[in-house]
Amino acid sequence: MLERLGLAAAERTRRSLGARAGLALYDQLARNTADAEALGAALLGVIGCGLELGDAQAISRGVAAWGKVDGGAFAPQIVETAAALADAMRRDEALALARAEARMRPDARLLYLVARLEETASAFAAAEERADREGLARLAAVCRARRARLLVRAGLVEQGIELARGIDTERVSPEEVVGIARLVLKSGSRFVRAGAIGMLERAMASGDPACRRRAVAVALLHADELGDALTPLEADRVLALMKRAALPEAAIAQARGILTGVGASDHARAAIAPAPGGPALLRRVAAAREGGGKNMVCPDGGGAVRLAWLAIDACLAIRDGEAGPAALALMEIGRRLDPAVRTPRAVWTAVLFALGSGGPAASDAAVLADRLLGTEARAEAPPGGYARLAALLARAGHVGIAERALRRGAEIRQPEARHGLARHLVREAYRLARAGESAEALARLREGKRAS
């Protein structure tokens, strides 16, 4: 009873006075309680407040103590907390937390989370086995698909393809079916490859426009890569897929002439690409996943393609620890922003990656984020939402831009951004009150209550 009251008091304090005050109470409760469930809840509070504050010591303290939680059922909260840690670029802590919980209370979803964080075939095999035992057929299929992808990436191509072919595609999402098809298209058998194009056709039946575009892009990229080695069987399947995608008849007629001809040039095949520069971007992303991707020439595909190419430049430079090239790529993106051109989501990905890296490029990323939040850029919401962007900006010391991000998210009714803005405004109100600016503090407090 006392522990429940203490937890409720800590949560109320966190909401009203901010994460720093809540952290002190959660820490105190974690030190003094002997109840396993109360200890687990308190440690999750410590980690949550640490994330909100960007306090690495608090996060490490909470994660390190998780092995003491010898009771209770925390799998859903651990999955959510570990995902939040990973989003905040704290994968080591996320993995340690998930591993600790999985050792004490094995669960298929937890083992899948561990596998996602480890990205090893053996971890996905363990998660798949557990999912089969728990009767989670869809999760088992997803684990197998990811294991197949890792085997192919490790050079065990035929082994990975054989594993992928055994997946029941009815059990996975259309997006995952497209990923499985990409693997199977690497087969040396034209019949197996034709079957993979059939998978892409089935994925298109979902009706999701993004999935349909990706399926078409994968099929056309496959045709482009094989060139003259593309068999008539595969060419027929690609044309059937294009018809299913309801592409213009002129494009399909042109594609028929190219795909069934001899010696078709790369330039001719580019004429049937789903978007200018699309196949080249896909090839570069695939190369980046394998550790490469540099020294590739940007195609002439218009402003959006150039922005996406520069975003990949920035990500690869950050990956390889090259601060100068990363900063130049981010600044060039900012220079090229155009209200007439929709900003590709890859630009947001580069911003998030740079902010999360904690390196010199974080400042350039914050400047670019400020531009993207303005009216001069036609940018969609960032991956993970505006609350995630705000957390990374605040951790990098750009609190003002973080507030702009939260306000943008609140405007489009993202719940996490709305709650984050309310907490931020309440914290600001108390800061202003301590500084003697009571009128401004009261205005912020009222705004925070409206936002909550």
- Closest-CA residue to 42 (of 96, 419, 50): 50
pLDDT of residue 275: 45
Last residue of a domain, one of 55, 87, 119: 87
In this structure, is residue 118 part of a structural domain? no
Residue 406 resides in a domain: yes
Q: Does any domain span residue 283?
A: no
Distance CA 117, CA 106 (A): 16
CATH of the domain at 334: 1.25.40
When comparing pLDDT for 263 and 379, which is higher?
A: 379
Last residue of a domain, one of 37, 67, 87: 87
Higher pLDDT, 5 or 280: 5
Q: At what angle do helices 56-64 and 19-32 cross, to 10 degrees?
A: 20
Q: Which helix (H) or strand (E) holds 415?
A: helix 415-434
Alpha carbons 146 and 173: distance in angstroms, whole number: 13
- Evaluate whether residue 408 is within a structural domain: yes
Question: 120 lies in a domain?
Answer: no
Domain termination site, one of 71, 87, 103:
87
Q: Does residue 95 lie in a domain region?
A: no
pTM comes to 0.56
Residue 115 maps to a domain? no
| pLDDT score recorded for residue 256 | 58
* Per-residue pLDDT tens over the stretch 175-185: 888 888 888 88
Using CA atoms, how far apart are residues 335 and 347, in angstroms rounded to an integer?
Answer: 13
* pLDDT tens for each residue of 154-180: 888 888 888 888 888 888 888 888 888
Phi, psi of 73 (to 5 degrees): -125, 105
Give the pLDDT confidence of 221-268 residue by residue, as tens digits.
787 777 667 788 888 888 778 777 766 665 555 555 555 543 333 433
In a domain, 11, yes or no: yes
Which pair of tokens denotes residue 106? 């094995």
Number of separate domains in the chain: 2
Residue 82 domain boundaries: 1-87
